[in-house]
Structure 1
Amino acid sequence: MAETIRMVIAVLGNAASMSLYAAPVVTFKRVIRKKSTEEFSCIPYIIGLLNCLLFTWYGLPVVSCKWENFPIVTVNGVGIVLELSYVLIYFWFASSKGKVKVALTAIPVVLVFCIIAAVSAFAFHDSRHRKLLVGSIGLVVSVTLYGSPLVAMKKVIQTKSVEFMPLTLSLCSFFSSTLWLIYGLLIRDIFVAGPSVLGTPLSILQLVLYCRYRKGSVAEEPSKGDQEKGNSEKVDMEMGKVETNVTNHMNENS
């Protein structure tokens, strides 16, 4: 019975996390359509890629005991494919200066992962120490991804509008972080539950802010003239808010 509950929670957590990983698809459709990365940053996707690489490695039998963390491998495996796709698309459509920036950021990140993987595989000879090394580094990387939701929440408070924080993504973030927190506690793994200890209250705060400011957003109807003028600006905000929120629970990976 306990095993069944763990599996159900893991499956639900996977579904919620994958919806978050897929959110930037909207952003990159715009990049492909315009053939330009505009003002979007590649950093969140590169850090997200590192996060997924670390936790996929953490869940494999090389680090964990057999397939005890198989659900973590599946969700982060999908995350690797998506995040790598985002980085490659960004690189393809970036300016010459942008391409250099992507390369100078992505190559060291991949090298860092390779070093961590090599050290954990060959320098340690038991699962406990390997999990401690990879899990600790993965935990630090996951926590750094929580800076973006804080920026989004600050904008909501400043503008008194939820334009920058869609309800769907906030709900996915809440369910993802909560489910992985429960799963991590059930299997008694601090490195799985750890990121969600921060992610869950942050996602709850997002929902509270949404309830607080959603009426103001609905009430403030733009004038007809303003609608035409702000058309392109609204599209930009829509893309920016998705990019901002998606970085939240890549930790839900954990």
Structure 2
Amino acid sequence: MTHGGQALARTVIGIIGNVISFALFISPAPTFKRILEKRTTEEFHPYTYLACMMNCMFWVLYGLPIVHPDSTLVITINGIGLFLEFIYLTIFFAFTNKKTNKRIIVTGVLVELVALAAVAFMTLLCFNTHEKRSMFVGIVCVVFGIIMYGSPLTILKQVMKTKSVEYLPFWICLAGFLNGITWFTYANLKVFDLYIAIGNGIGGLLGAIQLIVYAYYRKQNVDYDVKLVADVNANKDTILRVC
């Protein structure tokens, strides 16, 4: 592929990546619709939204012209994501009945803001070229990107214990998988971006693991429901014959 062709492909994949990333950011909407209707967060956890918020913060920093020029697509989608995650956390805080969750959200947001300020300060103070700044912030982004993609894994223990996928949001897992694969492809076009490639490559893998777990336990739930219906129908037939 020619240089111009790679540049065009990168732009197109970047736009597709933005669309899929937006889908990832709005994928919790059914969960929060349920929270608003029931006025409780039930057994849902805030970790995923805190991780996603921090990830967006650092990618916005990474995309700034003083760190990594020509990264408009990175800034725009992560700015939107940051706004949406703030809304999700506000709703979660308002409707959770657990003081522990409220404490986790407040502490988490404060720690994230302090961490962002510290990284931004160190970036400007200690590094004087775009390459060095991109490397430093990029490494931080990789770490928190992996945390974001892996955050639904915190629910897997509960899924395996209860053998239910009720609290493992399918759309978040699917959007995370597609998002990781798309941005991994984007990172390999025109100019190879190591940091986008590593974080999203691992993210795609983690998303695949979550989908496999979801499919496995979802099938078990369906098989159980089918067996339950069959047992109920059999009992009805027995009762009718007796009568």
Could you tell me the TM-score, scaled by structure 2's length? 0.77
More off after superposition, 154-163 vs 55-64: 154-163
Cα distance, 1:159–1:37 mapped onto 2, change above 3 Å = closer
Equivalent position to 2:85, from 79, 83, 86: 83
Q: Distance in 2 between matches of 1:21 and 1:76?
A: 9
Q: Distance in 1 between matches of 2:134 and 2:219?
A: 46
- CA shift at 1:151, angstroms? 5.0
Q: Per-residue displacement from partner, 1:141-180 (whole Å, max 9, x unpaired)?
A: 1122343444566677777776666665544333211111
Aligned residue for 1:183?
A: 186
Could you tell me the TM-score, scaled by structure 1's length? 0.74
Aligned residue for 2:237?
A: none
Counterpart residue identity of residue 79, structure 1: G
- CA shift at 1:203, angstroms? 3.2
- CA shift at 1:37, angstroms? 3.0
Counterpart residue identity of residue 9, structure 1: I
Q: Distance in 2 between matches of 1:219 and 1:165?
A: 18
CA RMSD between the two structures: 3.2
- CA shift at 1:45, angstroms? 1.4
More off after superposition, 171-180 vs 190-199: 171-180
Equivalent position to 2:12, from 4, 8, 12: 8
Please show how residues 1-254 of structure 1 align to structure 2 within 5 Å: 1-65=5-69, 67=70, 69-95=71-97, 97=99, 98-150=101-153, 168-186=171-189, 187-208=191-212, 216-221=220-225, 223=228
Residue identity over aligned pairs, in percent, reads 33
Where in structure 2 are there 5+ consecutive unaligned residues?
Answer: 233-243
- CA shift at 1:9, angstroms? 0.7
Where in structure 1 are there 5+ consecutive unaligned residues?
Answer: 228-254
* Conserved? CA contact 2:35–2:95, under 8 Å: yes
Counterpart residue identity of residue 87, structure 1: L
* Conserved? CA contact 2:49–2:88, under 8 Å: yes
* Conserved? CA contact 1:170–1:207, under 8 Å: yes
Cα distance, 1:119–1:139 mapped onto 2, change above 3 Å = same
User: Higher relative CO (CA 8 A, sep ≥ 6), structure 1 or 2?
Assistant: 1
Q: Distance in 1 between matches of 2:126 and 2:17?
A: 32
- CA shift at 1:218, angstroms? 3.7
Cα distance, 1:48–1:148 mapped onto 2, change above 3 Å = closer
Q: Distance in 2 between matches of 1:107 and 1:13?
A: 29
Counterpart residue identity of residue 27, structure 1: T
Larger radius of gyration: 2
